[in-house]
Amino acid sequence: MPTLHLLVEGEGDIQAAPILLRRLLHEEYGRYEWQVEPKHTMKVWGLAKLRSRLADFIEHLRGKRCDGALILLDLEDQLPCEEAPALAEEIAALRPLPFPVVIVFAYREYEAWLLASLASIAAQSAHFPDGLSYEENPEGKRNAKKELEVRMPALVKYKEVLHQAEFTKYLDFEQARRAPSFQRLERAMQELLTAVDNGAGAGMVSPRRK
């Protein structure tokens, strides 16, 4: 069975990101043969930390049984269209990996995708009142975590390690596509799958500058 490895930012992502990627692989692409689990997920503490130890993290991946890798990080106020190709070039400058690597930055944070899909999440989670939705641009301002928290019951604080994975289970893909960076995630996964299927994944790093 092919295995997808993830490089993510924090503790909450270690549980939530595999849920999201499994759902995409199964529900969007019908690719039930792919494995993606918390044990295939590595915390890298954000873009600056990843860059400071990039060669070490990439070499760590090289030692794994891996058929593809996804780097999934928050980006706050930086632009994904600039930072993702720049990081891809840095990775491509290292010794090539025998599998494809795709880079996706959630703008401004992973929780923006949850905020975009709040209607679906609220309909299924006890943490929100029924009928709740978020009609504004989910990526329009910082601190999507706070936007979620203020809609939760009084005295309940949003905690990534407690809530991120649960809310990800209820995320609706169509609603989440209101966030352009979520659309990039879908494109990146399709690109990775196509490369693997065509036997063209070795050394591929995406996105590259146009």
Contact 175, 79 (CB under 8 A): no
pLDDT tens-place string over residues 133-158: 999 999 999 999 999 999 999 889 99
**What's the pLDDT at 76?**
86
Backbone angles phi, psi at 103, to 5 degrees: -115, 130
pLDDT tens-place string over residues 5-54: 999 999 999 999 999 999 999 999 999 999 999 999 999 999 999 999 99
pLDDT band (50, 70, 90) for residue 182:
very high
pLDDT tens-place string over residues 46-79: 999 999 999 999 999 999 999 999 999 999 889 8
Query: Does 210 score more than 80 pLDDT?
Result: no
Q: Which of 165, 185, 202, 206 lies closest to 66, judged by CA?
A: 202
- Tell me the domain boundaries of the chain: 4-206
